[in-house]
Amino acid sequence: MGKRSAVSAYVLPASGILLALTFFLWPSLSPAASGFLPGVLAFGSIALLCGSAFSAVGHADVVEARLGQPWGTLVLTLSVTVIEVSVMASLMLNGENNPTLARESVLSVLMIVNAGIVGLCLLLGSIRHREQTIQQQGISGYLSATIALGVMLLILPSETRAGASGIFSPFQLVYMSAIALALYAAFLYMQTVRYREHFNAQPEGHAEAPPELGAFILAIVMLLASLGAVVALSGWVAMSFEDFISQFALRDPDAVIGALVATLILLPEGMSAVRAAARNHLQHSLNIALGSALATVSLTIPAMAFISVMIGRPMVLGLDNEDRTMLLLTFVLAVLSFGTGKTNALNGVIHLIVFCVYVMLLFAP
């Protein structure tokens, strides 16, 4: 098993120690302490959360190797989505209502993935391998579903008669959530059954042997434990991080919080995607990155919509003008970059430039 065995030898004990610290230290934290040391609590809880997220993705990688494609990538994607939903729900329920938090978090994931992570994958992969090829039909499937849901869930709310302020009516919110889930279910069927070959990564070199059954079962157990740690920590991350951010005079704090949360959650998955692209496994890299973006917009918004309806807190989904422009620009670039079935360094540079502009708008909208 080579490299994977070496990595697992470190991931297993490290994640075990991390989970033990999490579950022993978490009950001892006090909400009152956040008033004295908001910065310490913020960075401490974020460090534990990041470690638990890395642990979850590390064990999901073992599960992925055993299940093969595309099931393995799907497990990784859904694991990260569970992490994101738990953190966002905790932020939404913490303190005063944050009606734009779900919108900003989903937008951040779409921009970080389609501009930042994809840009890095294309640039680093092309630097090492000049040009890389992809399964164009599979990438088109990801982009078609993501663009359709992105427009319907983040742009359409400001264009309806009931949504002058960017808010779906309760009926529209429930209906569009059902549409998102149905579209994602249809995509999963096409990905795993009907057109499975369109999403398979091209084999490069000698494939590593899959992990043994014992390692596979242990990875599943540790994956569930890591996800449980993330859910347990998410509430403390929400409280301490929002207290810390409130000390700064930001023009749009929800946008900054959404972007930072998305960055923390996507960090391990983004690293996996970039490493795959550097190894000339661009299809596998894009399966991870684009699959994460699609799962986020398909599953996170319905989950947050359910919470919004249950607790009676409104949720603003319609984007502001600058965010709408940047999102549409990113979608157009993605279609053009993958339109020929081959990618090069110029595509990566353009995506990264757009990402830099997005980061600037977070702090100077």
Domain total in the chain = 1
Range of the domain at 208: 3-363
d(CA 181, CA 193): 18
pLDDT digits (tens, 9 = 90+) for 214-229: 777 887 787 777 767 7
Give pLDDT, residue 29.
46
For residue 176, what are its two tokens? Answer: 């569009």
Give pLDDT, residue 91.
67
Q: What is the CATH number of the domain that holds 18?
A: 1.20.1420.30
User: How far does Cα 117 stand from its chain's mean position?
Assistant: 11
Low-confidence spans in the chain with pLDDT less than 70: 1-46, 53, 57, 68-73, 76-77, 80, 90-97, 162-164, 201-209, 227, 230-244
pTM of the predicted model, to two decimals? 0.79
pLDDT digits (tens, 9 = 90+) for 221-250: 877 777 677 666 665 666 666 666 777 777
Give pLDDT, residue 197.
76
CA angle 231, 234, 239 (to 5 degrees): 155
Give pLDDT, residue 94.
61
d(CA 285, CA 357): 24
d(CA 288, CA 73): 6
Give pLDDT, residue 313.
77
